[in-house]
Structure 1
Amino acid sequence: MATGAGEGEQPEEALPRRAGPTDIADPLIRHEARKAFVWIGMAALFALGVFLSQSLLVIFGGVVLATLIDGGARVVGRVLPIPRGWRVALVLLTSLLFVFWLGKFAGSQITQQAAELPDTIESQFHRALAWLQRHGMEVRVRDVRSIAQEAMGGISQVTAALGGLFGAVTTLFLILVLGIYMAMEPRLYRRGVGWMLPVDRREHFEATSQVMGRALRRLLLGRVIGMTVEGIFTWFMLQFYGVPMAALLGLITGLLAFLPNIGAPISGAIMILVGFSVSAQMGLYTVFVYVLIHLIDGYLIAPYIARKTVDLPPALVLAAQLVMGVLFGLLGLALADPLVAMIKIWLEREAARNGGQPAADVEKLENA
């Protein structure tokens, strides 16, 4: 009968244990080695995050779009008590019909105005340079263009290096597909992420994700309200006074309203240039319209969004937009505001968990 050990051999458990090449006898050195491996792992994860930053930003764009669709489905659910899948389909169909209407009925007019806009801006640009030269400022067109080309060239090199994997159309398509999938079954993906966490942190993650979703829905709802109000108001005011390209300027103002701090000055500058291209009186009127829109956004829409979501310091949002815009282009610029809001909520939730009491902003969102 075999005993498991040959004659003259000791059983395996009786053999003396010998130190391997990875064994560390000194407890202090072993403790420090573990800490070093933790830091090495964190550095490796950071490097991996930088390498995958463009893809992660596309995924976050899908989350933002899914939240926007989910918010629309919830609004529809208050009016029509139908299953969630049908509500999501209704939101997508309505959005598709709006895009079709915009391209079919308003597309020809906006396309014609868009073709005229560059010439108008360029003519106003030359008039402004001529005015500066008449007042003793030696500014040449060639110098201004070279500075602009160098600035745009530096930005394009960074964005091309980090975002060369996806073109603009491919990125938008991926965000659309991801957003639709996530909007159809948001709990499935939330449970999947929570499953990868330790058991003792899953409940905290679930509560934090719900607070984030609630805040993001309201943030995007405020953005949509602001875009709609500012776009329609701009179109109406400019059309009322007979300003050229009123429909296009209203569309530009509405789209750029999604970018706080940056969108309004850009759309306002374009509007004012178009106004002064006709007459000084019309230019002053466009200045009045811009100031009025800025007052509506600053004293009505922005406080409403801040009350319903997370109040973010404007300087923090602007800094995040500048960094994200340089690194990731227009996509990073558009997603900087929601990303900062989600990071702030996460930090507040972690601080509340460690301190044992809820933060004021988070408690307000949970009780809303």
Structure 2
Amino acid sequence: MRHDTATLLILLAVIALLGWLAPGFVLIVFAGCLLAVALRAAGVPLARYFGMAPHWGVMIVALISGIIIGLLVWVGFATIADQARQFVRAAPQVLQGIANMLEGLPGGDWLQHQTSPEALQPSAEQAANVALRSFWGTLGALGNLVLVLLLGIYIGADPTLYRRGALALVAPGMRPRGEATLNAMAHALRGWLLGQMFAMVVTGTLTFLGLWVLGVPLAGFLSILTAIFGFIPYIGPVIGALPAMLIAASEDPSLVPWVAGLFLVIQNIEGNVLTPMVQKQSSDVPPALLLGAQALFGTGLGFLGVLLAAPVAAAGLAAIRVAYVEGWVEDPADADQKRLIRPF
């Protein structure tokens, strides 16, 4: 028993040390595991249907997904890029219009000064610095993306290899409980991921239809932006609504209340109907806990932390339930009889 506890404490200490010294690396590895869960969720049923090995199904799904994404980028890049340029060009005028509307109110003079053409026109040195930072930031993001893709494909093709390696770090007596914990985390991530992807597609579609009916410019770009931000529960839809409201204000200020109402309705449909309906079989994370995780991860890890806070919270909650509550607080034998989790 002491030997089991010692190995567990050492493992937790190593994980905590990695999270302290290299939190970005830990998040990248977690993102790769999340992608592996997504690939296996589609690849394993495909392989079972055609009677092939699971890793072939994962590779086929990865290849087809890459081709589809490449075609979408190739076909839609020009349109999206043009809409994005229009949005960037319209932003100063929108801010200036808002400043004029707030003239005479507290803070209105300051905002009007900050949005003046002189203040918005960067110097040559500032433009060069921004371009250099953007280049290195884009290069780093692409490198991290490639690493996540490779991790997702390798782990998704043969998760048993990596699961055995992880279980080898704990004492033999704790390995059955450790395997059940890993399986529970994988199932929680799959349920959360499928629910979020479905909600993102529906949210983006409803946003496009609503903005198109209202006559708001850049409806396609704004709907894609809203769908992407929808990956971040609760906070994402609020962030996605701000550009739409700014564009509506530049076109016709009377559209702003209608756009705000549209996003409010869509958010209620997504949060109160779609997500609970799709994820009712998975381990939902309580809203207060999710917001706390987003605040904690966002403070120390930036946008990537906020982006992955929800799946990290879902996986962590599953691990606590299986490893601690069922494996320590309750009788492990009774807990195992009540719950049967298939291997990932």
Q: Give the TM-score, by structure 1 length.
A: 0.76
Alignment partner of 2:191 out of 218, 227, 230: 218
Match of 2:263 in 1: 290
Match of 2:172 in 1: 199
Aligned partners of 2:81 and 2:73: how far apart in 1?
9
Matches within 5 A, 1:106-121: 106-121=76-91
Aligned partners of 2:61 and 2:11: how far apart in 1?
43
Residue aligned with 2:296, SS: helix
Q: 1:254 offset after TM fit, Å?
A: 0.9
Alignment partner of 1:89 out of 37, 45, 59: 59
Aligned partners of 1:105 and 1:199: how far apart in 2?
53
2:103·2:112 contact (CA, 8 Å) conserved in 1?
no
Aligned partners of 2:11 and 2:208: how far apart in 1?
54
Aligned partners of 1:80 and 1:246: how far apart in 2?
40
Q: 1:81 offset after TM fit, Å?
A: 4.2
Greater Cα radius of gyration, structure 1 or 2:
1
In structure 2, what residue type is equivalent to 1:258? F
Aligned partners of 1:127 and 1:100: how far apart in 2?
38
Alignment partner of 2:156 out of 179, 183, 193: 183
Which shifted more, 310-319 or 196-205?
310-319
Q: CA-atom RMSD, angstroms?
A: 3.2
Q: 1:46 offset after TM fit, Å?
A: 4.2
Alignment partner of 1:254 out of 227, 234, 252: 227
1:219·1:308 contact (CA, 8 Å) conserved in 2?
no
Alignment partner of 1:51 out of 3, 6, 21: 21
Distance verdict in 2 for CA 1:45–1:80, change over 3 Å? closer
1:333 matched to 2:316? The reply is: no
Residue aligned with 2:103, SS: helix
1:321·1:333 contact (CA, 8 Å) conserved in 2?
yes
Distance verdict in 2 for CA 1:88–1:44, change over 3 Å? closer
Aligned partners of 1:42 and 1:73: how far apart in 2?
32
Q: Give the TM-score, by structure 2 length.
A: 0.81
Aligned partners of 1:258 and 1:128: how far apart in 2?
29
Match of 2:130 in 1: none
In structure 2, what residue type is equivalent to 1:62? G
Matches within 5 A, 1:55-134: 55-77=25-47, 80-134=50-104
Which shifted more, 67-76 or 182-191?
67-76
Residue aligned with 1:133, SS: coil
1:113·1:245 contact (CA, 8 Å) conserved in 2?
yes
Alignment partner of 2:325 out of 348, 351, 358: 351
Aligned partners of 2:178 and 2:293: how far apart in 1?
25
Aligned partners of 1:94 and 1:231: how far apart in 2?
22
Distance verdict in 2 for CA 1:60–1:43, change over 3 Å? closer
Aligned partners of 1:317 and 1:365: how far apart in 2?
26
Q: Deviations over 1:290-318 (max 9, x none)?
A: 12211211221221254222222222212
Q: Deviations over 1:105-129 (max 9, x none)?
A: 1111111000011232332222222
Aligned partners of 2:48 and 2:257: how far apart in 1?
44
Match of 2:253 in 1: 280
Distance verdict in 2 for CA 1:144–1:305, change over 3 Å? farther
Residue aligned with 2:216, SS: coil
Distance verdict in 2 for CA 1:335–1:312, change over 3 Å? same
1:275·1:284 contact (CA, 8 Å) conserved in 2?
no
Q: Deviations over 1:192-231 (max 9, x none)?
A: 1112210000000111111111111111011111111111
Matches within 5 A, 1:139-178: 139-141=109-111, 167-178=140-151
Distance verdict in 2 for CA 1:347–1:143, change over 3 Å? farther
Identity of aligned residues (%): 28
Residue aligned with 1:167, SS: helix
1:270 matched to 2:240? The reply is: no
Which shifted more, 259-268 or 50-59?
50-59
Distance verdict in 2 for CA 1:115–1:41, change over 3 Å? closer
Q: Deviations over 1:76-106 (max 9, x none)?
A: 3575444323321221122112222222211
Q: Deviations over 1:163-193 (max 9, x none)?
A: x9x9222111111111110000011111111
Match of 1:228 in 2: 201
2:180·2:341 contact (CA, 8 Å) conserved in 1?
no
Distance verdict in 2 for CA 1:266–1:365, change over 3 Å? farther
Alignment partner of 2:276 out of 294, 303, 319: 303
Residue aligned with 1:307, SS: coil
Aligned partners of 2:218 and 2:203: how far apart in 1?
16
Which shifted more, 216-225 or 237-246?
237-246
Listed as ranges, the gaps of 5+ residues in structure 1 are 1-37, 147-159
Aligned partners of 1:185 and 1:262: how far apart in 2?
35
Aligned partners of 1:279 and 1:78: how far apart in 2?
54
